Structure 1
Amino acid sequence: MLQNYLTIAMRNLRKHKTFSFINILGLAVGIAVCLQILLWVVDELSYDRWNEKFDRIYRVAGEVKFGGIHSTFAVAPAPLAAALAEDFPEVEAVVRFRQQGSFLVKSRVQNFKENRVVFADSTLFKVFSLKMLQGNPDQALKAPQTVVISKSMAEKYFPSENPIGKVLRFDNDQRYNVTGVIEDMPVNSHFNFDFFCSMSTLEESREQIWLSFNFHTYYVLRKDANQQAFAAKLFPQLLSKYIDPQLQQVMGKSYAELEKSGTLFKFPIQPLKDIHLKSDMDVELAANGNIQYIWIFGLAALFVLLIAVVNFMNLSTARSALRAREVGVRKVVGSQRSALIGQFLSESMVLTFFALFLALLLSWVALPYFGQIAGKKLLFPWTSPLFWTSVLLGGVLIGLLAGSYPAFFLSGFQPISVLKGRFLDSSKGRNLRSGLIVFQFLIAIFLISASFVIRGQLGFIQNKKMGFNRERVLVINDAYALENNLDAFKKNLKNLPFVQNATVSGFLPIESSRSNGSVCTTPSVQEESCQIIQQWEVDEDYVPTLGMEITKGRNFSPDMPGDSSNVILNEKAAKGFFGQEDPLGKILYFQTDMNDEGKLNQRVYTVIGVVKDFHFESLRQNIETLCLTLQRNAGNISVKLSATDLPAALLRMEQEWKKVSAGAPFSWQFMDESFDEMYRAETRIGRIFNIFMVLSLLVACLGLLGLAAFTAERRTKEIGIRKVLGATTPSIIGLLSKEIIRLILLAFVIAIPVAWWGASQWLHNFAYRIAVPWWGFILAGLMAVSVALLTVALQSIKSARMAPVKSLRSE
């Protein structure tokens, strides 16, 4: 029986090659899109699950509301780890990470810039499942000035040697003994480092300040412990034993008193498995994903697949009249309805598995290109039993879904009516096809609209005035490597004919590391007089080099030695501290470290200027308070260029660098490139939505093409008669197209409110955004109508130009 089903199915596919091709290609594209997105989603959901204890590992974060500023940090106070280990028996192990930026690392002669460096406690291997290849995991990071390196770094710095016991120099003056080698970390981790330096090296790791947040802190909960109960008692116990006494010393108030006035101090707890997709705090170890995009891409891929399935159902039900006599004859000779259902479902399954084979081929070919767009290296899981089981089950499900309605619809024909020639395409069938066409183009218009909105927001970001000039600003990294030669190098740069200006600073107005601190208008620390504010250390050339505007007062001057005790505020900070008063000449008290008596040390600054607000974070956030102080921070050298011959300018600057750098690599990037990196996720979304838009239209139009061909075939005699009576080709085209256009217009009316709501929700991720562009929805509708009309017209023209005699002879 099954062999008979398959034989007949293959005959029908060969007999109707055009319709078979359209169905197979449409389904293949839909399945291929789903496979690509599924691989990406699985990769996103797999982050950090390589840890053996991933379901018991948690990160303690920080949340502070003080001086009207509400901030969340992925870091916690230094003494928290010891308190967790000593005071809470539910905790099995604790580890801290501390990042301090990039380092210049060398083993013998050549320096290499390494960004993936972190300081970690010796308990690292008790929390995370890092595979130790050489060394003792219990002892490797206990001593100061020790480091555990990855296998790839061991091969890089000590080729063909045993690295254990060897020395690496960090920034030319810090010696670290290699005590261990680990397997390279999995890519699907929310942190990824090649160098783990011993935490005991850092003096700040032993500080007992509970009001400062610098350390990423993770703990493992014991198997028999309850996380909810532990979380409920964590903060109250820490508050009473450690935090409240320190608050009393610093601010003269208890936490309860501060809480009444709006001050907040909490320790949110995050499961390790949620960090990559659900955490977007300040000071993350790396850029995380977004659970919203999992849903967005998943739904978009599902929509494309549904459009392909709808095509199959549409064409199958449309061709029902052509197979009506076949069904009638089969029933007369004794075929049961169940046998007919089996026959039509087998045809659906054969077609689906042809499409599935083609989809696997398309996915394999397209995966590297999709990986480039998505920013991942995705591999096709050819050897995974789970993958193949899922693919086969998915193919069966799609085949059943696509073929179920046609099977039950066709098998329900009454043989007497059919054989007497009384069968007509029922209104029920026509209504179903109309509804499916509306559904297809509703999705297509939604995706086109989304693409326009994303493109509009990205254009707004690119063209918005940011309060500084990032064009032709070259950022030279690792200025600290020049040591005592830094000032001479900067002077040499400024003397070059193609350099307009140059500045040395540790902070730039692009998303990077930040320096938060507490600043008050009074010597005493009180919530009504203090704010959490960004404190950037710059030189006197910072403002002019980046094209910022001083709106009040003056910039720092090299002719005024006292400027090291002066400060420039942005407009937001000036208004926050002094309201409508003139801020010039006012005194501010900067809180620094804590002294032996438990009091915060202070530095006193005088306001000499106000800089116009500029965006120093992405447009997702509002501009916050910020101040500039004249302090040495040799992080980067920003160079404003006027040269048109950039390669020659870069070569000359590299030559100047090599004269004074003692072998440090010349590393640079343009500021506008770094600025664009802040919106990498949105750029990728835009590209992927463009692909979805094209594919959804392609698949929908394949269905329209098949439907138009079938409609023209059904109405061949009618077209011939109309032409004999004087109908023109344009009128015939209009006759065959008007119903399709009406349905697409209905899809447009339904899609607009849905697309408008979706666009509004996405744009709310940005503090600075465009208005929802009404023109984008109109253009989306026009595109859908135009493409559909062109598709139908191509088939209609062929039918309309057929000779009437030939049309009237057709059966």
Structure 2
Amino acid sequence: MFLNYLKIAWRTLRKQQGFTFINIFGLAVGLACCMLIMLYVLDELSFDRYNAKADRIYRIQSDIKFGGNDMHFAVSPDPMGETLKKDYPQVEQFVRLHQRGTWSVKRAGETTNLREDNITFADSTLFDVFTLPLVSGDPKRALAEPNTVVISESAAKRYFGNQNPMGQALVFDNNRTFKVSGVMRDMPQNSHFHSDFFLSMLNDDYQWGQWLSHNHHTYLLLKPGTNPTAFARNFDTVVKKYIGPKVMQFTGSSLEKFSKAGNQLSYWLIPLTDIHLHSKQQIELAPNSDSQYIYIFSAVALFILLIACINFMNLSTARSANRAKEVGVRKVMGSERQQLIGQFMTESILTTVLAMLLALVIVAIALPGFNKISAKSLSSAQLVSSHYLPFLIALPILVGLLAGSYPAILLSSFKPISVLKGRINVSFKSAGLRSGLVVFQFAMSVVLIVGTIIVYRQITYIQTKNLGFSREQLLTINNTYSIGNQAETFKQEILRLPGVVSGSTSGFLPTPSERTDCAFFAEGQSDGNKSVHMQAWSIDYDYVKTMGMQIVQGRNLSKAFGSDSSGIILNETAARTLGYSNPIGKRIWRFEDAQLQVRKLYTIVGIVKNFHFESLRRNIGALSMILQPNSGAITFRLSSAHITDLVPQIEAKWKQMAPGQPFSYQFMDDSFDEMYRAEQRVGTIALTFAALAILIACLGLFGLAAFMAEQRTKEIGVRKVLGASVPSIIGLLSKDFLKLVLIAILIASPIAWYAMSRWLNDFAYKIDIEWWMFALAGLLAVGIALLTVSFQSVKAALMNPVKSLRSE
């Protein structure tokens, strides 16, 4: 019986080639979009799950409110992990990671360095907590001794080729030699942090035991059966016992007074598998994603699939008049309703299976481009893995059942006597369900169009907003500390080149970077009443000028004032937090050592206009700038006419003065744009899928318009004979669809407003959602619908009425 169903279904599909093409192509595009988004979503959800003990690993998060700042860190004090393991038996193990950014690395005995990112110091317990298999070395002892390093297989090949790297030496920053004590497999892509080099924590240049400094990412491995929520309550005890005395020493007040003054110092645990999508803390090991994008893309996939299914249902029910007599004849010949439903469901599933095969081809073709847009490394081979294959088999069957159920029930319900006498009414106007489905299709399309418009408007706003400094024509040479005391000489040599306007040496740049803050107090104060918790940037005399910043009160740091070695510039936020009506000449102090013994006074000499040095998702925080040597980077302001010629000249000078050191540079506007790559990717993906959703909806609309015109052929002929003009007939055939699209716009607008308002809430600086965005989306939807319907309407209106009325 099933083979008979299949044979008849195949013949029917071949007979109705136009209908079959629209259905299969529309379903294929919908299924392909669904599979691409499924690959993306499942990859996002898989982060850190490769760890065998992932369900027991938690990271300590810090929430601090002090000195006018409300801070949320992914780091905690360095003694925290060890103390928790010592005091609480629920902690099986802990590990700390301390990322040290970009270093120059070379093999011992060689002169050429390579630039390596994300050099990380780690405790010897790293391999007890995380699943990072070693191909060489003992995980228990790999980082237990000083001057040891564990490298990835990729790094081993990069530096040692086919030689055995075990026991070989690598030199970091030209002066620190580490012995390779282990080689690990490359870390999986779906990890919230990556590193090719783990150095022994015993070599981290750090003043240990700082309960008030937050610089280490600390992970706890809890024993099986431990309730993490209950365990986290122990942080209150830890704060009172260990941090309270330090707060007293730091501020001169008890922890109770500290809290009553509106300050906060609290800690909590986040599961390892939640970090990538749910952690929005500062000082992450790498940029995280956002769970809202998972919900958005999942909803988009569902909507596109539903739109494709709706097309199938609409076209099938619209064809019911053509198949009514077939149903009547089958029933007269003895077919029961269940058999007819089976026949029509077989056609539906066959259509979706064919669409799935075409969808797999589309996915294979589209995946490289999708990977580029989404910054992923997804493979079509994943679709046939054990995790995806059951879903891949079930998807066409489920879609076939969903899309084909209503048409099958409708068609099988026709009364044989009525249909054979031509009494069945299947006019377009009476098809309420079809109208509702068209409204749903275009409502979802309008939501996607509005979302795309708002995302691109926000990105444009970010890229054109006045940041408080001039980021254009700023070229930063990275890692200039590698040339030691020649950094200043290199700077002066470059300043002599034509087209170089100015230059400044500093490792602190007005682009987002993970930097720690420190507390400053007003002179004579230590209780937090007149204090500010802020970043302290080490700069030189030319920094403010080179960056194009504006001094709004006082003056810049200057060589003309010998006392400026203890001078300080604050931004407007810091000055406002301190509460001074006239801050110039006032003095503030901070502790200069980890033991909280040495204080240094600074005199406020100037106030710089607020500028953005973090993401526009955050308000401008407090910041200070002091004179202090820091040769981490040198930034030059170039004239626009010489940029192309200057970069090769600067590189040549670098190679002359720093042979063997990697030359690395970046334009500041590129660094700034890098922050919003995620938003740009979301905008591009949203635009792509919005276009595809509209394409699928229009395919269905095109098919419906064709069937409507076919059903009304004789009516149109009569109207033309009675004198109706072509434009009036086009209007008659189009107005029903336009009504549906207008209803869709009215339904979609509040949904789009709510969804995009939620998205924009993540930005401290954002656009306003304006009426014209919805009007533009509506005009686009109406225009697309008109174009889709007009072809069939014009064709029907131009038809010779003699042909349509010949049989009357």
TM bracket (short chain)? over 0.9
Q: 1:715 aligns with which of 712, 716, 728?
A: 712
* Cα-to-partner distance string for 1:99-140 (whole Å, 9 max, x where unaligned): 122110011221011112100001111000101111111111
Alignment partner, residue 804 of structure 1: 801
After TM superposition, list the pairs within 5 Å mapping 1:768-783 onto structure 2. 768-783=765-780
Flag the 1:378–1:292 CA change in 2: closer, same or farther, 3 A. Answer: same
Question: Where in structure 1 are there 5+ consecutive unaligned residues?
Answer: none
2:45 is aligned with 1:65: no
**Does the 8 Å contact 1:515/1:536 carry over to 2?**
no
* Cα-to-partner distance string for 1:248-269 (whole Å, 9 max, x where unaligned): 3333333222212211111121
Q: CA deviation at 1:203?
A: 4.3
- SS where residue 541 of structure 2 aligns? coil
- SS where residue 386 of structure 1 aligns? coil
Q: 1:634 aligns with which of 631, 653, 659?
A: 631
Q: CA deviation at 1:549?
A: 0.5
Flag the 1:552–1:350 CA change in 2: closer, same or farther, 3 A. Answer: same
* Cα-to-partner distance string for 1:651-702 (whole Å, 9 max, x where unaligned): 1111111121132111011100110011111101110111011111100110
Letter of the aligned partner of 2:706 in structure 1? A
Alignment partner, residue 136 of structure 1: 138
**Does the 8 Å contact 1:643/1:649 carry over to 2?**
no
Letter of the aligned partner of 2:326 in structure 1? E
Q: CA deviation at 1:388?
A: 1.8
Give the Cα–Cα distance (whole angstroms) in 1 for the partners of residues 528 and 579 of structure 2.
Answer: 15
After TM superposition, list the pairs within 5 Å mapping 1:679-718 onto structure 2. 679-718=676-715
- SS where residue 616 of structure 1 aligns? coil
Alignment partner, residue 166 of structure 1: 168
Give the Cα–Cα distance (whole angstroms) in 2 for the partners of residues 634 and 761 of structure 1.
Answer: 42
Q: CA deviation at 1:448?
A: 0.6
Q: 1:674 aligns with which of 671, 675, 678?
A: 671
Q: CA deviation at 1:366?
A: 0.3
Flag the 1:84–1:428 CA change in 2: closer, same or farther, 3 A. Answer: farther
**Does the 8 Å contact 2:313/2:407 carry over to 1?**
yes
Q: CA deviation at 1:352?
A: 0.7
Q: CA deviation at 1:2?
A: 0.7
- SS where residue 759 of structure 1 aligns? helix
- SS where residue 603 of structure 1 aligns? strand
2:759 is aligned with 1:762: yes
**Does the 8 Å contact 2:553/2:606 carry over to 1?**
yes
Q: How many residues align?
A: 805
**Does the 8 Å contact 1:98/1:216 carry over to 2?**
yes
Give the Cα–Cα distance (whole angstroms) in 2 for the partners of residues 643 and 399 of structure 1.
Answer: 60
Q: CA deviation at 1:645?
A: 4.2
Q: CA deviation at 1:306?
A: 0.8
* Cα-to-partner distance string for 1:39-77 (whole Å, 9 max, x where unaligned): 000100000000000000000121111123110111010
Q: CA deviation at 1:226?
A: 2.5
After TM superposition, list the pairs within 5 Å mapping 1:491-506 onto structure 2. 491-506=492-507
- SS where residue 97 of structure 1 aligns? strand
Letter of the aligned partner of 2:694 in structure 1? L
Alignment partner, residue 515 of structure 2: 514
After TM superposition, list the pairs within 5 Å mapping 1:540-689 onto structure 2. 540-579=541-580, 581-595=581-595, 599-689=596-686
4+ long deviations beyond 4 Å: 426-429
After TM superposition, list the pairs within 5 Å mapping 1:139-538 onto structure 2. 139-204=141-206, 207-232=208-233, 234-380=234-380, 381-425=382-426, 430-538=431-539
Q: CA deviation at 1:810?
A: 6.2
- SS where residue 414 of structure 2 aligns? coil
Q: CA deviation at 1:522?
A: 3.2
Alignment partner, residue 29 of structure 2: 29
Flag the 1:798–1:564 CA change in 2: closer, same or farther, 3 A. Answer: same
Q: CA deviation at 1:717?
A: 1.3
Q: CA deviation at 1:501?
A: 0.6
- SS where residue 301 of structure 1 aligns? helix
Alignment partner, residue 89 of structure 2: 89
- SS where residue 141 of structure 1 aligns? coil
Flag the 1:240–1:573 CA change in 2: closer, same or farther, 3 A. Answer: closer
Alignment partner, residue 126 of structure 2: 124
* Cα-to-partner distance string for 1:735-765 (whole Å, 9 max, x where unaligned): 1101000110111111111111112111111
**Does the 8 Å contact 2:235/2:268 carry over to 1?**
no
Give the Cα–Cα distance (whole angstroms) in 2 for the partners of residues 68 and 116 of structure 1.
Answer: 31
Give the Cα–Cα distance (whole angstroms) in 1 for the partners of residues 384 and 722 of structure 2.
Answer: 65
Q: CA deviation at 1:773?
A: 2.2
Flag the 1:810–1:242 CA change in 2: closer, same or farther, 3 A. Answer: farther
Letter of the aligned partner of 2:410 in structure 1? F
Alignment partner, residue 79 of structure 1: 79
* Cα-to-partner distance string for 1:419-455 (whole Å, 9 max, x where unaligned): 2221111689610111011001000111111111111
Deviates more, 1:777-786 or 1:504-513: 504-513
**Does the 8 Å contact 1:250/1:600 carry over to 2?**
no
Flag the 1:600–1:681 CA change in 2: closer, same or farther, 3 A. Answer: farther
Letter of the aligned partner of 2:177 in structure 1? R
Alignment partner, residue 742 of structure 2: 745
Give the Cα–Cα distance (whole angstroms) in 1 for the partners of residues 101 and 665 of structure 2.
Answer: 16
Q: CA deviation at 1:561?
A: 3.0
Q: CA deviation at 1:36?
A: 0.2
* Cα-to-partner distance string for 1:707-754 (whole Å, 9 max, x where unaligned): 011011111111122222222221121111010001101111111111
Q: CA deviation at 1:643?
A: 4.2
Deviates more, 1:249-258 or 1:684-693: 249-258
Flag the 1:480–1:784 CA change in 2: closer, same or farther, 3 A. Answer: same
**Does the 8 Å contact 1:210/1:242 carry over to 2?**
yes
Question: Where in structure 2 are there 5+ consecutive unaligned residues?
Answer: none
TM-score between the two structures when normalised by the length of structure 2: 0.98
Give the Cα–Cα distance (whole angstroms) in 2 for the partners of residues 712 and 66 of structure 1.
Answer: 71
Give the Cα–Cα distance (whole angstroms) in 2 for the partners of residues 347 and 95 of structure 1.
Answer: 59
Give the Cα–Cα distance (whole angstroms) in 1 for the partners of residues 462 and 245 of structure 2.
Answer: 46
Letter of the aligned partner of 2:409 in structure 1? F
Give the Cα–Cα distance (whole angstroms) in 2 for the partners of residues 161 and 52 of structure 1.
Answer: 31
* Cα-to-partner distance string for 1:70-96 (whole Å, 9 max, x where unaligned): 101110101112102211111111100
**Does the 8 Å contact 1:53/1:128 carry over to 2?**
yes
Deviates more, 1:302-311 or 1:239-248: 239-248
* Cα-to-partner distance string for 1:453-500 (whole Å, 9 max, x where unaligned): 111111111111110000111111001012111111111111111100
- Name the % identity: 50
* Cα-to-partner distance string for 1:493-539 (whole Å, 9 max, x where unaligned): 11111100111111111111223110110344212122211111111
Alignment partner, residue 111 of structure 2: 109
Give the Cα–Cα distance (whole angstroms) in 2 for the partners of residues 338 and 175 of structure 1.
Answer: 79
Alignment partner, residue 19 of structure 2: 19
Q: 2:729 aligns with which of 711, 714, 732?
A: 732
Give the Cα–Cα distance (whole angstroms) in 2 for the partners of residues 225 and 458 of structure 1.
Answer: 44
Q: CA deviation at 1:809?
A: 2.8
What is the aligned-residue RMSD (CA, Å)?
1.4
**Does the 8 Å contact 1:505/1:636 carry over to 2?**
yes
Give the Cα–Cα distance (whole angstroms) in 2 for the partners of residues 91 and 65 of structure 1.
Answer: 28
Give the Cα–Cα distance (whole angstroms) in 2 for the partners of residues 809 and 509 of structure 1.
Answer: 79
Flag the 1:203–1:507 CA change in 2: closer, same or farther, 3 A. Answer: closer
**Does the 8 Å contact 1:77/1:212 carry over to 2?**
yes
**Does the 8 Å contact 2:215/2:516 carry over to 1?**
no
**Does the 8 Å contact 1:517/1:533 carry over to 2?**
yes
